[in-house]
Amino acid sequence: MQPCYDFHCHSTASDGTLSPSQLVARAAAAGVEMLALTDHDTLAGLPEAQQAAAEAAIELITGIEISSTWSGRELHIVGLNMQADHPDLQALVAAQQQARVRRAELIGRKLDKAAGLAGSYQRAADLAGTAAPGRPWFARMLVASGRVRDEQHAFNRFLKAGQSAYVNTPWVPLDEAVQALRAAGGVAVLAHPVRYGMTRRKLRQLLADFCAAGGQGLEVAMPRLNPAQQALLIECLRDFPLYASGGSDFHTPAQYWLELGRLPALPEQARPVWELFQAA
């Protein structure tokens, strides 16, 4: 019987609405036994989460979600069970944070014009408590300022690709992200593969490159997958040397359709990613 786990979730250290300790407490209440906090391009929430996990008797797996590029596309790589203070990983995180600050400042300037606001960047930064607020924090700022009805409206009107305040960011290349995670003793997992809108052929091309770079895992246990998506992911596990991972991608209790640890079972014959943790 597989443990109750969740290897993809976010706190206020990136774009979630619960603090790391609140997130751990919610996971414990949901019966989660193994949890990875995977904030976007930052490890800042880990110390608080580690302390809370020790008090709640949850096994906390070191985690991060790295934004990367492959073939002109933005992809997300979840890193698991890494040595957080490894210099290669620390250098990557520092570079990603610098890119996030530059992106946030540019989004702010664009929103000042498009939404008729003043100081959009500083408003979002103050709300997030960081110099590198992600787009969800800008969306929350726009809601608070009365410019949009809700966060989805903010994305649709200003923040998503093709809209006036969207900024295309030059993230780290896929192979460099994977190599930094592996150098730190971690496992690189391709996050939410069905969300990228790729054809079957394109996804398989991505997975071939991902494996060649040292990628070891594929998220296959996620909420709300349809049968066709499930079949595609099972095929990918069969045809590529990848271990199976899963996570809710939880950001906020407002996502009422999600809950920490509430995941479908891993496919039969799949090798669970935690076998790699044990090996390490």
Burial of 240 (0-12, 13-18, 19+ CB in 10 A): middle
Give the per-residue SS3 of 77-103.
EEEECCCCCCHHHHHHHHHHHHHHHHH
Q: Are residues 122 and 180 in the same domain?
A: no
Rg (CA), the chain: 18
Closest CA to 9 of 278, 233, 1, 30: 30
Q: Are residues 73 and 196 in the same domain?
A: yes
Q: Are residues 270 and 205 in the same domain?
A: yes
Q: Are residues 232 and 111 in the same domain?
A: no
Q: Are residues 36 and 76 in the same domain?
A: yes
Q: Are residues 26 and 122 in the same domain?
A: no
Q: pLDDT tens digits, the chain, 280 residues: what are they?
A: 789 999 999 999 999 999 999 999 999 999 999 999 999 999 999 999 999 999 999 999 999 999 999 999 999 999 999 999 999 999 999 999 999 999 999 999 999 999 999 999 999 999 988 899 999 999 999 999 999 999 999 999 999 999 999 998 889 999 999 999 999 999 999 999 999 999 999 999 999 999 999 999 999 999 999 999 999 999 999 999 999 999 999 999 998 899 999 999 999 889 999 999 976 6
- According to the model, what pLDDT value does residue 280 have? 61
Whether residue 14 is contained in a domain is answered as: yes
State the total domains in the chain.
2
Whether residue 164 is contained in a domain is answered as: no
Q: Are residues 188 and 77 in the same domain?
A: yes
CATH number for position 154: 1.10.150
CATH number for position 58: 3.20.20.140
Q: Are residues 85 and 101 in the same domain?
A: no
pTM above 0.85, yes or no: yes
Q: Are residues 266 and 176 in the same domain?
A: yes
Q: Are residues 85 and 179 in the same domain?
A: yes
What is the DSSP-derived secondary structure letter of residue 165?
T
Whether residue 180 is contained in a domain is answered as: yes
- According to the model, what pLDDT value does residue 278 have? 77
The predicted-structure confidence for 120-166, as pLDDT tens digits, reads as follows 999 999 998 889 999 999 999 999 999 999 999 999 999 999 999 99
Range of the domain at 101: 97-159
Q: Are residues 85 and 189 in the same domain?
A: yes
Q: Are residues 79 and 200 in the same domain?
A: yes
Is the separation of the CB atoms in 69 and 170 below 8 Å? yes
Whether residue 58 is contained in a domain is answered as: yes
